[in-house]
Amino acid sequence: MEQAAVILKKGQGRTIKAGGAWIYDNEIDRIEGSYENGDIVKVLDFDGFPMGQGFLNMNSTIAVRMLSRRKDAVIDDIFFKERVRDAWNYRKEVIDTSSCRVIFGEADFLPGLVIDKFEDVLVVESLSLGIDRWKKVIVDELKEILKEDGILIRGVYERSDAKVRLKEGMEPSKGFIGEEFDTKVQIIENGVKYFVDVKDGQKTGFFLDQKNNRAAIHRLCRDKKVLDCFTHTGSFALNAGIAGAKSVLGVDASELAINQARENAAFNNLEETVRFECADVFDLLPKLEEEGEKFDMVILDPPAFTKSRNSIKQAVKGYREINVRGLKLVKNGGYLCTCSCSHFMDPELFAKTIREAATGAHKRLRQVEFKTQGPDHPILWAADSSYYLKFYIFQVVDER
């Protein structure tokens, strides 16, 4: 069957012309030929100029997710195998691959697909209809490519349970791809050992994107008193503990996450140094301030306060408040580590919000480091959604 063709309106397609990866439904003039949602279609500018090929899904406001800029590209098993091989070869050059993100959607030119590797287990998140059809093919190809490097994958688990799938006309999906296996996986990162729950943990089970940022706090933690807010399963707290912190308090609102964090602390023989408390951070920080508590380092790693442009103003208030509260708990000359994982909170707005928080807390900030997500979560320029994590380390000094 001949490929259908998506023809853009005159003056539209500016995003993909600038190197982006998406075409929105309101940019399309018409579709020529028969198609089903999820099909691979040709994309033509208003004047017939070929712009490439991509997955079409008119259920979604993101109508086309670009796969290739070549009009003559043959998109088959071989095409996807080469994409997967390119992604793996890149990881081998830029990061420790014992546990890492192997596929990062549009940034690896495999739109809507995420695959994380935790030692000998793969966790798959498929968020677009087109890629979902190729999911098992891609997983099989990845397993073969890893086998070439002596890595035998013992199991694959799917965590396509995000609500965003509903916008693609798909139901959330979760379960084993292939044989069942023990879904509690042991990994080591930065010298810290973790149990990762790939079945019931958040997202794919563990936040690999902060690997290098967690390592960056090591040299600042020795003999220090540390507060880790939104600790999840204890990753920053445990890095502080491994680095020789005198005491660490990790806080999270999830009882499940705190129980896992305590288990991870025991796994590393850190239960005497690193303790965890289940509490709402927004309630706990004012309480600690009232009690006169001070810390050598405060870490703020909150969930995304905004997942749409419509809620940015509210998110700014949340980031400002949490940073004011955190800054007030840092000793003079101590350190604040603060981050945002929402791509809608762009770097300039996040920096402005931190400046306002410092003014509100009557603190001065010396920037020690600015970092983003690890290189296994590559930022594809012009694909704005691939740049989401902003991470700062500041020295905090009293106004003088």
From 388, 379, 210, 206, select the one nearest 306 (Cα to Cα): 388
Integer distance in angstroms from the first to the last C-alpha of the chain?
74
**281 neighbors 228 (Cβ within 8 angstroms):** no
Joined together, the tokens standing for residue 134 give 């190729």
Q: Which residues of 285-311 are buried (b: 16+ CB within 10 A; e: fewer)?
A: beebeeeeeebbbbbbbbeebbeeeee
Active-site residue, 339 included? no
Catalytic site residue from 100, 229, 337, 341: 341
Closest to 40 (Cα-Cα) out of 68, 78, 18: 68
Question: Three-state DSSP class for 224?
Answer: coil
Query: CB pairs under 8 A, 24+ apart, for 102-105?
Result: 102/142, 102/376, 103/138, 103/142, 104/376, 104/377, 104/378, 104/386, 105/386
CA separation for the pair 5, 7 (Å, rounded): 6
Q: At what angle do helices 347-361 and 312-328 cross, to 10 degrees?
A: 40
Contact 12, 376 (CB under 8 A): no
What distance in Å separates the CA atoms of residue 234 and residue 258, rounded to the nearest whole number? 8
Sign of the torsion angle spanned by Cα atoms 184, 371, 280, 289: positive
- Residues annotated as part of the active site: 341
